[in-house]
Amino acid sequence: MKCIINRRAKFSASHRYWLPELDEAGNQQLFGLCSRFPGHGHNYELYVSLEGELDKYGMVENLSTVKKVIKEEVTSQLNYAHLNDVWSEFQETLPTTENIARIIWQKLLPHLPLVKIRLYEHPELWADYQGKDMEASLTVKTHFSAAHRLALPALSLEENTAIYGKCARTNGHGHNYHLEVTVLGEIDSRTGMLVDLGALQQVIDDLVVEPFDHTFLNKDIPYFAEVVPTAENIALYIAQLLRSPITELGVELDKVKLIESPNNSCEIYCRQSASGQNIAQEREPAIAV
């Protein structure tokens, strides 16, 4: 039986998004504030996932060995460094989060049975890479606050209470929702970018955060006049809102995760199915009855 283990590591480094073949105006247009000289820095958090059979000692890999390899091949070289100048790969393709994850995979693959690299630039932005050429995913995390009531309009208060419990109370209740939007695409071989991050954030803000924030979902969002705004239905609706605009940015909506509370969350997987249809479109909004 195979097992996946994860090892965390950290490093602090700076980088700059700048292409010498472009002038200052061109770099500013493409990279915005990230083009400023001499660069900016992050406290990166790295998760290295390994897969394998358990050996006679009950391990996939000796964690002391894993720690040593990660330090020698990655963190000792990148910690407190200017990434553009450390590895030659970053002369060819800029050190974006997604491209750093890709190159880390290449550095570690000869030594460890990798299954995934996850790199956090900060808690609200991270990239995943799984060894598929230039394909990677990027996740943006954001939040909004909203109230809702779980009740089917056709049912009585007693009937709704039997289904939804306290969530059926007539005046509703609120949550601080956390939303994770994951997109999948190809890393540009020169810029290192999967997608224009500013444009992606703008789409999420315009279509979800601004319309949903500080609302009573049942009354302020027309979709939920008849559809019960469970976490599942909210996530599904967000996926439907974002799918086409994100496709227009040149990437594919991969997953929407909605965290309603520390105890409750749900995920909608949105990639194309074998039939070519979008998974989020194949099922009707789930209304509990």
Catalytic residue IDs: 167, 214, 260
Residue 229: cis peptide before it, omega within 30 degrees of 0: no
Degrees to nearest 5, angle at CA 263 with 262 and 265: 85
AA letter at 216: F
Instruction: Indicate the pairing of strand 81-82 with strand 2-15.
Output: parallel
* Cα gap 230→236, rounded to integer Å: 10
Residue 218's closest CA among 163, 169, 181?
Answer: 169
Tokens 């070519």 belong to: 276
Contact (Cβ atoms closer than 8 angstroms) between residue 288 and residue 163: yes
SS3 55: coil
Using a 10 angstrom Cβ sphere, with 0-12 exposed, 13-18 middle and 19 or more buried, the burial of residue 20 is: exposed
Contact (Cβ atoms closer than 8 angstroms) between residue 94 and residue 25: no
Residue 91's closest CA among 198, 192, 233?
Answer: 192
| CA-atom Rg of the chain in angstroms | 22
